[in-house]
């Protein structure tokens, strides 16, 4: 292991290399000093050129950090990522055909790191079937320059899967909190741990360089072995950035890292408006002990409502980056205040893909007559799917939230621009699907979205059907949305939270004596 400056480490990246970058949007464990140094080197020398950059999660502060350092003409040949939304300059370059642009499911990319680490041929999964990731619907391509097939349809034992091909890695940039003199790296002050270990192992398997950024060096032997996330045997180069912040906006929040437990009831109250109504209606789907995922955007308000109603401790909120329990952050997506556990991201997605989620609360940009949902590309914006596809395909019940219109334009359209969630496939898989808006609620019926609730005082034709791009079926049992949703007073959710549906496995415990 060799210590270098960020500039010296950036000089190790060569033209046409494949660079793997760890971290998550909002600056969680992002090796930003390394990315900045690489961007400076290119501006000053024109080298390296034509890089392929892989980053499972979006990297950026919405301005110039993260992948913004590398968003320069000629520096990038190809980008494969879960999402572009954190870095507008990267997204704009993709739309302008400046590099080959792909977006694959965040969970798939995370899990693929483990397959690459082990030298396996790739990842076979059902995640992405019948979405724009499916080769029949685009194969994850986001511009015309992206011509290579990164995903294949395969048949195995009579069932259909997608096969995601592995990548060769020349250099990986990872980040931790501290490193000892042997190069062992801990992540005790990070908000998430992600797939840093798998990335380092994947690079080593390919014969690539592992470059790690940390905040400080500690004496040899001072790190508890269980705190070491990346063993020193995998680290080639160490770069110290004493000014490293926990996130782009937060220098150090001990509630994110688990060093401090905070009162979760202190989460701010959502102000009156459509977002509050939508979050409140979504929260009415909660039940005792429900294991949930909160997506970004409007759905993060579920945590605020659960806290306000006094039921946050009675459900388990999670996010895909690996936090279990606590309160997922609405300001810095990926972090959570006072989580009960933090697991590596690939294992969180294993749990999601395996049906571990009772409920998923996700946002929609648009939904269509077939019940398809788009969040990945719309209105001239390139966002990417993030963890949306894994989450929406794996959960037993999905509640999509959003306003029925945006700036006067319909968000219920005849056909979505890009299929990030397939309504017909969800129906085939037996999922329960709701589309919740501030003035109406729909469920996925046999033919598509079916209107089941309407806000009190709303005109069915003028305020709902007349502002949609298609005419949904209307339930013969059309009901009014609960009037409590529109009141400033608490809904009383604590007294009417339904019990957890019985799990078949719990039958084993019937009649058993317990010590609880």
Q: How far is CA 381 from the centre of its chain?
A: 18
CATH fold match for the domains 2-240 and 274-483: yes
Examine the pLDDT at 495 and tell me if it is beyond 70: yes
pLDDT digits (tens, 9 = 90+) for 262-302: 887 777 889 999 999 999 999 999 999 999 999 888 888 99
Please report the pLDDT score of residue 188 as a whole number. 96
Task: Give yes or no for residue 144 having a pLDDT over 90.
Answer: yes
In the chain, where the domains are located: 2-240, 274-483
What share of the chain has pLDDT > 70, as a percent?
97
CA pair distance 393, 35, nearest whole angstrom: 33
Q: Count the neighbouring beta carbons within 10 Å of the beta carbon of residue 479.
A: 10
Strands 209-214 and 237-240: parallel
| pLDDT level of residue 511 (50, 70, 90 thresholds) | low
The contacts of residue 324 (CB under 8 Å, 6+ apart) are 316, 318, 339, 340, 341, 342, 343, 348
> How many angstroms separate the CA atoms of 313 and 315, rounded?
6
Please check the confidence at residue 516 and state whether its pLDDT lies above 70.
no
- At residue 513, the pLDDT reads 62
- Print the SS3 string covering 30-76: CCHHHHHHHHHHHHHHCCCCCEEEEECCCCCCCCCCHHHHHCCCCCE
Tokens of 316: 């388990």
Give the right CATH number for 2-240 from 2.130.10.10, 1.10.287.950, 3.40.1080.10, 3.40.50.1000: 3.40.1080.10
Distance of CA 357 to CAs 311, 392, 395, 427, Å? 18, 10, 5, 17
Residue 515 predicted with pLDDT over 90: no
Angstrom distances, CA of residue 68 to CA of 32, 89, 92: 10, 6, 11
| DSSP assignment of 433-502 | EEEE-SSEEEEE-SSSEEEEEE-TT--IIIIIGGGSSS--EEEEEEEEPPGGGGSSS---HHHHPPPPPP
Q: What's the rounded mean pLDDT across residues 449-456? A: 98
* Residue 21 confidence (pLDDT) above 90: yes
Q: Which residues are 79's β-sheet partners?
A: 53, 101
Report the chain's mean pLDDT, rounded to a whole number. Answer: 95
Residue 329's pLDDT is 85
pTM: 0.96
- Is 188 one of the annotated active-site residues of the chain? no
Residue 314 Cα to chain centre, angstroms: 24
Note the CATH architecture for domain 274-483. 3-Layer(aba) Sandwich (3.40)
The sign one gets for the Cα dihedral 468, 473, 475, 476 is positive
**What are the strands of the beta sheet with 432-436, ordered from one edge?**
341-342, 323-324, 316-318, 291-294, 359-363, 397-401, 432-436, 440-444, 449-454, 473-480
Catalytic option among 309, 320, 366, 453: 320
Q: What is the DSSP letter of 118?
A: T
CB atoms within 10 A of CB 153: 13
Residue with tokens 């040949």: 77
Instruction: Record the tokens describing residue 326, joined without a space.
Output: 């606590």
Closest CA to 192 of 24, 34, 340: 24
Cβ atoms of 438 and 278 closer than 8 Å: yes
Instruction: Summarize pLDDT for 189-237 with one digit per residue, the tens.
Output: 999 999 999 999 999 999 999 999 999 999 999 999 999 999 999 999 9
């Amino acid at each position: 292991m060799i210590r270098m400056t960020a500039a010296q480490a950036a000089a190790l990246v060569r033209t046409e290399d494949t660079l793997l970058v760890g971290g998550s949007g909002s600056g969680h464990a992002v090796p930003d000093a390394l990315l900045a140094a690489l961007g400076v080197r290119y501006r000053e020398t024109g080298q390296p050129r034509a890089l392929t950059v892989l980053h499972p999660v979006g990297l950026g502060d919405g301005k110039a950090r993260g992948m913004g350092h590398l968003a320069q003409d000629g520096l990038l040949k190809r980008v494969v990522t879960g999402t572009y939304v954190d870095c507008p300059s990267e997204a704009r370059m993709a739309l302008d055909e400046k590099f080959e642009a792909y977006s694959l499911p965040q969970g798939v990319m995370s899990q693929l790191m483990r397959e690459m680490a082990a030298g396996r041929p790739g990842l076979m999964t059902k995640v992405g079937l019948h979405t724009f990731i499916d080769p029949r619907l685009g194969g994850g391509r986001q511009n015309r320059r992206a011509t290579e097939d990164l995903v294949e349809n395969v048949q195995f034992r009579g069932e259909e899967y997608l096969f995601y091909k592995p990548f060769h890695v020349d250099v990986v940039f990872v980040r931790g909190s501290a490193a000892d003199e042997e190069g062992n790296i801990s992540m005790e002050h990070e908000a998430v741990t992600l797939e840093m270990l798998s990335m380092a192992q994947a690079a080593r398997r390919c014969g690539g360089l592992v470059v790690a950024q940390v905040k400080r060096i500690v004496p040899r032997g001072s790190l508890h072995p269980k705190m070491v996330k990346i063993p020193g045997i995998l680290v080639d180069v160490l770069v110290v950035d004493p000014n490293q912040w926990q996130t782009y906006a937060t220098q150090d929040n001990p509630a994110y890292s688990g060093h401090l437990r905070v009162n979760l009831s202190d989460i701010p109250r959502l102000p009156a408006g459509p977002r509050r109504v939508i979050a409140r209606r979504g929260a009415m789907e909660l039940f005792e002990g429900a294991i949930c995922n909160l997506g970004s955007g409007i759905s993060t308000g579920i945590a605020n409502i659960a806290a306000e109603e006094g039921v946050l401790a009675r459900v388990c909120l999670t996010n895909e980056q690996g936090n279990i329990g606590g309160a997922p952050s609405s300001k810095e997506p990926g972090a959570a205040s006072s989580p009960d556990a933090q697991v590596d991201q690939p294992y969180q997605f294993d749990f999601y893909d395996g049906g571990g989620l009772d409920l998923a609360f996700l946002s929609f940009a648009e939904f269509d007559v077939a019940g398809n949902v788009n969040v990945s590309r719309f209105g001239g914006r390139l966002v990417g799917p993030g963890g949306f596809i894994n989450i929406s395909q794996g959960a037993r019940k999905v509640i999509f939230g959003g306003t029925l219109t945006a700036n006067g334009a319909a968000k219920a359209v005849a056909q979505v621009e890009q299929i990030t969630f397939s309504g017909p496939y969800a129906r085939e898989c037996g999922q329960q699907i709701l589309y919740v808006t501030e003035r109406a609620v729909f469920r996925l019926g046999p033919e598509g979205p079916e209107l089941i609730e309407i806000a009190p005082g709303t005109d069915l034709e003028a305020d709902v059907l007349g502002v949609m791009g298609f005419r949904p079926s209307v339930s013969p049992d059309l009901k009014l949305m609960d009037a409590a949703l529109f009141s400033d007073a608490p809904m009383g959710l604590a007294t009417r939270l339904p019990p957890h549906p019985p799990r078949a496995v719990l039958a084993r415990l019937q009649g058993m004596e317990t010590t609880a």
